[in-house]
Structure 1
Amino acid sequence: MPSIRAHALALSVAASLSLVASGHALAQKKYDTGATDTEIKIGNIMPYSGPASSYGLIGKTEAAYFKMINDNGGVNGRKINFITYDDAYSPPKAVEQVRKLVESDEVLLVFNSLGTPSNTAFQKYMNAKKVPQLFVATGASKWNDPKNFRWTMGWQPSYAVEAQIYAKYLLKEKPDAKIAVVYQNDDFGKDYQKAFREALGTKAASMIVIEESYEISTPSIDSHIVKVKSLNPDVVMHFVTPKFAAQGIKKIGELNWKPLQLVTNVSVSVGAVMQPAGFDNAQGVLSADYRKDGADPQWKDDAGMKRWSAFVDKYMPGADRTDNSLVFGYGAAQTMVKVLEMAGDNLTRENVMQQAASLKDFAPDTLLPGITISTSATDYAPISQLRMMRFKGDKWELFGDIINADVKAPD
């Protein structure tokens, strides 16, 4: 018979081998379609052409950011293969392109696809396929609905939150104002318009004198602005995309009309909106933001913006720093890389979504001080803070405190 000591030794060796085996099992890499030992395929859709083509710079910035990451060794040793297609801001085209990404290119996830109508068109498809539709580049409140669409998550503050902030500002500063609302006749514009009306509450009926919509396909909104002016409102709300914000502000200036103007956060780019509108016409326009302005000298010594500036110098030489798409694309891409880093060697779609829903006080280089990204399994609204700002001279000036505007996901 073997001795007790020999038996104990055998048990100890067996236990050690068992631990090694289980440790090896824990360390095994897990992949879904689109991820390997060397590569992570990320899909994207942008309006590189069409009526919202000014946003195309976001996709170009993200491509450049991922190239920088790859040049520095990638994410946990894997290179990002960023595949981005043009949908011309057309929902049918977007559906076609996203199917190509998922079924032909076999991407792990679709990241920061732009536009409320486009993302709406393929949201059910993505959720049925259980492919992450991650950090979509639109502020529609519908992206914060993990109960019904757990594979879709937004990134920027919701349009509803923003509209509520503007309504609160006007109720406090101009409670007797006559307000004209100009909005894009799609999910994007209607989200703002509905939230703004609701936030004004019982005063909406007396304060709003006209709600004027336009189609995204229209070449110019000049005639809509002329119609609005005929009612002589004190305030004009521009719930519009960049091209039409520039047109609206410019036309109001040409009419020598001086209402208080508020413009959506997605249309505050100095280079793409304020400059084409004319700086003289843009004086005093209000908005709200969560990002630093890449052209504002107040951030010249900011550590995060120094990194952003070095990135632009090396990877996007000659880019217009007054176009805040450079800041937006960088911040979104940095958030995506953070999630992939957190996912480690478990690059399943399930784990990527789990990590995206586990961000805690993450601060991309380009967000305003004090504004951070946090998510949970029941909160798919990464950014829910803003500061009001006013256009003065050739740049935006922030004023007031950071406004926290958490909006709960639907039940």
Structure 2
Amino acid sequence: MPVRSQTAPPMWGKFNWRKFVRTTYAARVVAAGAVAALALAAAAPAQAARIPTADPGVSKTQIVIGTTTPLTGPASPGYMYVAPAAKAYFDYVNTNGGINGRQINYVYLDDQYNPALTKKQTNQLILSNKIFAMFGALGTPSHSAVVADLNRRGIPDVFVNTGSSNFDNPSKYPMTFPFFPSYVVEAKVMGYYMANDATLNAKKKCLFYQDGEFGDNAKIGFVAAGTTFVAETSYYSGQQVAPFTSQIAKLKAAGCELVVFFGVTSATAQMLGTAAKSAFAPTWMITSVGSDPSVVGAALGAAGNTLLKGVYTPSFLVPIQDTTNAYVSQFKVIADKNSLPWNFYTYYGLNTAYVLAQAIKAAGPDLTRASLINALQTKASTFRSAAIVPMLISAKSHQGLNGYYMGQYNATGQVERLTSYIMTATSATSGTAKQTTFKPGAPTSKLLP
């Protein structure tokens, strides 16, 4: 407010007119500000209720989902198909209207199964792509490098593609949900099956495993199952680019008649190829994540099916060759339309994306990270899936699938189911597997959530 006169009116005497004007004006401004502040404070709750603060990566029109996975590098054979298959399913959902009106924007980045690169790519997904959730991140050593940070940031870490039991820890990792049955459970199932098959039980058993949590989990399961081995050997991730000469020599020298292998598919191919050249032909039992015939065949050529014939392997999905099954036939249509090879990894990627879509739908139209976590913890048992084993997710355990049936490869490279029952167990360091029955529900209409 400008002051037009520099002389105070005579009747005010020595009264400080300038100070009065300044004080009065300031008081009015403060009072007006206080009134405005009170008005805003009163209105704030109502405004917040009308315009909620959205979590990153979700808007009225889209949901941003991210993945790190080995698209290149020594561990990529087989695994390179999982994320593209998931994208094919999400694209299928998008063309059919999305989920609660939102399109899924799926971003997957190559980490080469390298923990240092996993950190870099995860930061890009969080900081640049602004993901709502991490989905299907693949690999035990690679995901171990970022799981704590994802949980610290409150980012849902859904359906981790590894069987490491360390990720099922709701008190430590409340945002993380493994999908695979754990390697501990798989080892218990293998141990149970060997102990109850007279022919296998009589053989001299040996163990060949990948160093790190992968192999550590396997050993925990076998100890719990009471399985003993006359010899053990291992390889480190990335070593499979060269022949396993020393490992095979050790197993052969020990007189191993049954070798149980816990490793990735590219390592399986190297192991079988090296063993064949060394005239070493034991009975093989190979982990579910390391026995896809299309990948082994690509590495070994025409000898692939011959070397796989008779190999035992656990599985948890409806057999991929059963095209009369509604899940298999409909997933294959999506794979074919996207020119994806029809193998276990494509099949698995499609199925996992299908389950995530159901979880997002169950989280409701007002999608938040909290509502997704709640849907997983309270409704997972209702989600449909091509898995023929139960989904166990709850507030107390974030483990997804639990259990296996035992299969064996035939001459055409297909797994034939050997057990009419499935075997389940826990990831605890004690306790063995047991037989149980479980019948999966029929797929939703058109495989849409």
TM range (shorter): 0.7 to 0.9
Identity of aligned residues (%): 26
Q: Select which of 125, 141, 148 maps to 1:101.
A: 125
The answer to whether the 8 Å contact 1:46/1:89 transfers is yes
| Cα-to-partner distance string for 1:214-236 (whole Å, 9 max, x where unaligned) | 12122224212122111111111
Residue equivalent to 1:12: none
Equivalent residue number for residue 407 of structure 2: 389
What does 1:140-151 correspond to in 2, within 5 Å?
Answer: 140-151=164-175
- Tell me how far 1:312 sits from its aligned partner: 1.6
Are 2:351 and 1:351 equivalent residues in the alignment?
no
Q: Residue type of the partner of 1:386?
A: Y
RMSD: 2.3
- The structure whose Rg is larger is 2
The 8 Å contact of residues 30 and 346 in structure 1, kept in 2 or not, is answered as no
Q: Could you list the per-position Cα deviations for residues 361-409 of structure 1 after superposition, in whole angstroms to 9, with x for gaps in the alignment?
A: 44545323xx343421112112102100011111110011332424267
Q: 2:420 matched to 1:401?
A: yes
Contact 1:252 1:281 in 2 (8 A): no
The range that moved more, 214-223 or 73-82, is 214-223
CA pair 363-134 structure 1, distance change in 2 beyond 3 A: closer
Q: What is aligned with 2:314?
A: 288
Name the counterpart of 1:189: 215
CA distance in 2, matches of 1:286, 1:372: 22
Shift of 1:209: 1.9
What do residues 176-234 of structure 1 show as CA deviations (whole Å, max 9, x unaligned)? Answer: 4322211111222222133223422xx62xxx122111121222242121221111111
Given that 2:260 and 2:285 are in contact with CA atoms closer than 8 Å, whether structure 1 keeps it comes out as yes
Which residue, 222, 231, 240 being the options, matches 2:244? 222
The aligned amino acid for 1:402 is Y
Moved more, 211-220 or 34-43: 211-220
SS, match of residue 347 in structure 1 = coil
Could you say which residue in structure 2 is the equivalent of 1:15? none
Q: 1:137 to 1:383 in 2, by over 3 A?
A: same
Question: Which residue identity does 2:368 align to in structure 1?
Answer: T
Rounded to whole Å, the distance in 2 between the matches of 1:309 and 1:76 is: 25
> What's the TM-score, normalizing by structure 1?
0.85
The residue number in structure 1 matching 2:233 is: 212
Indicate how the Cα distance of structure 1 residues 343 and 142 shifts in structure 2: closer, same or farther if over 3 A, else same: same
Deviation by residue 1:264-297 (Cα, 9 ceiling, x = unmatched): 1001212012564421121111011011343x1x
1:157 aligned onto 2:177: no
Q: Is contact 2:409-2:416 (8 Å) kept?
A: yes
Q: Which ranges of structure 2 fall in alignment gaps of 5 or more residues?
A: 1-47, 430-449
Moved more, 142-151 or 76-85: 142-151
What secondary structure, in the 3-state scheme, does the structure 1 residue paired with 2:378 have?
Answer: coil
Aligned to 1:3: none
Q: C-alpha distance in 1, partners of 2:375/2:122?
A: 23
1:21-60 equivalent positions in 2, closer than 5 A: 31-54=54-77, 55-60=79-84
**1:331 and 1:364 in contact (8 A); partners too:** no
**Is the 2:75–2:238 Cα contact (8 Å) retained in structure 1?**
no
> For each residue in 1:132-183, what CA deviation from the matched residue of structure 2 results, as whole angstroms up to 9, or x when unmatched?
1110000111122112211111001111100011112222324443222111
Can you give the 5+ residue segments of structure 1 that lack an aligned partner in the other structure?
1-24
Determine the C-alpha separation between the residues in 1 that align with 2:417 and 2:383.
Answer: 19
Give, in whole Å, the separation in 1 of the partners of 2:236 and 2:133: 31
The alignment's TM-score, normalised by the length of structure 2, stands at 0.79
Taking the aligned partners of 1:302 and 1:29, their CA distance within structure 2 comes to: 44
Contact 2:210 2:236 in 1 (8 A): yes
- Post-superposition offset of 1:27: 9.8
Contact 1:293-1:327 within 8 A present in 2 as well: no
User: Could you tell me whether the CA contact under 8 Å between 2:359 and 2:380 is conserved in 1?
Assistant: no
Are the structure 2 counterparts of residues 141 and 175 from structure 1 closer, same or farther at C-alpha, using a change threshold of 3 Å?
same
1:356-367 equivalences under 5 Å are 356-362=376-382, 364-367=384-387
